[in-house]
Chains A and B, each alone.
Chain A
Amino acid sequence: AQSVTQLGSHVSVSEGALVLLRCNYSSSVPPYLFWYVQYPNQGLQLLLKYTTGATLVKGINGFEAEFKKSETSFHLTKPSAHMSDAAEYFCAVTGGRRGGSNYKLTFGKGTLLTVNP
């Protein structure tokens, strides 16, 4: 079974400041990890994903995340926040094996990012 904990339901930063959204996971198998962004009244857009290989993953819109197995973490960062980054961000995990029951994305509760001018 997998679970995700997102620390901080609301993060507020100034425009141009570092964005750091925290995600810790629990998984009984090697995890595949995702970050999704959801703008108001929209669906979910994939920002980035970690499956295997390089632990530093770069995504769209300047975001990146680092998989740290020893810390069971997958924190999302962006060096400089932009007003357009204001949205809800979801971390998600699924089992890292083909087949079986790894169809299911388990989401964290989400972090609302606000960007102040």
Chain B
Amino acid sequence: DTEVTQTPKHLVMGMTNKKSLKCEQHMGHRAMYWYKQKAKKPPELMFVYSYEKLSINESVPSRFSPECPNSSLLNLHLHALQPEDSALYLCASSRQPGSPANYGYTFGSGTRLTVV
């Protein structure tokens, strides 16, 4: 299995809703990442998990709450989002934390989030 699987593929939520994005990989990768991509822009790093522990938070607002229950699963909990948070949310993984260069990132297909 050489894939990163993200669910759901599309999500529409109101500003008062609570929802979660899910990311799963079974490649034995020990680093997992959340990226946010606005339309016609490059991806921007949000969070890095290294061996199931949060190692990097790129000053992301607290309405985004990541969770890594185990080495294969990464969640992003969403609460009280704003319309400007509408974007494609990409999950990625790499074999070793701090060494994405040697092995490369594997990206999922993303969740297209619309906040209304």
Q: Is B74 an interface residue when CB atoms closer than 8 A count as contact?
A: no
Chain A residue, CB-CB nearest to B40: A110
Chain B residue, CB-CB nearest to A9: B40
Cα distance, A10 to B48, chains bound together (Å)? 31
Q: Is B69 an interface residue when CB atoms closer than 8 A count as contact?
A: no
Min CB distance B112 to A, Å, is: 7
> What B residues does A90 contact at CB under 8 A?
42-43
Known interface pairs A32-B101, A90-B42, A108-B42; A103-B112 also in contact (CB < 8 Å): no
24 intermolecular pairs with C-beta atoms under 8 Å apart: A41-B109, A41-B110, A43-B110, A44-B43, A45-B107, A46-B105, A46-B106, A49-B104, A51-B102, A90-B42, A94-B100, A94-B101, A95-B101, A98-B98, A99-B99, A102-B100, A103-B31, A103-B33, A103-B48, A104-B45, A104-B48, A105-B45, A105-B100, A109-B41
Cα distance, A49 to B106, chains bound together (Å)? 13
> What A residues does B108 contact at CB under 8 A?
43
Q: Using CB atoms and an 8 Å cutoff, list the residues of chain B in contact with chain A.
A: 4, 6, 31, 33, 40-43, 45, 48, 50, 55-56, 90, 92, 97-102, 104-110, 112
Chain B residue, CB-CB nearest to A51: B101
> What B residues does A98 contact at CB under 8 A?
98-99, 102
> What B residues does A109 contact at CB under 8 A?
41-42
Please encode chain A, from 80 to 105, with 1 for each CB lying within 8 Å of some chain B CB and 0 for all others.
00000000001000111011101111
> What B residues does A74 contact at CB under 8 A?
none
Specify which of A42, A44, A49 is in contact with B101 (CB 8 Å cutoff).
Answer: A49
Cα distance, A104 to B31, chains bound together (Å)? 12
> What A residues does B92 contact at CB under 8 A?
44
For B6, B92, B107, the residue with the greatest tally of chain A CB atoms inside 10 Å of its CB is: B107
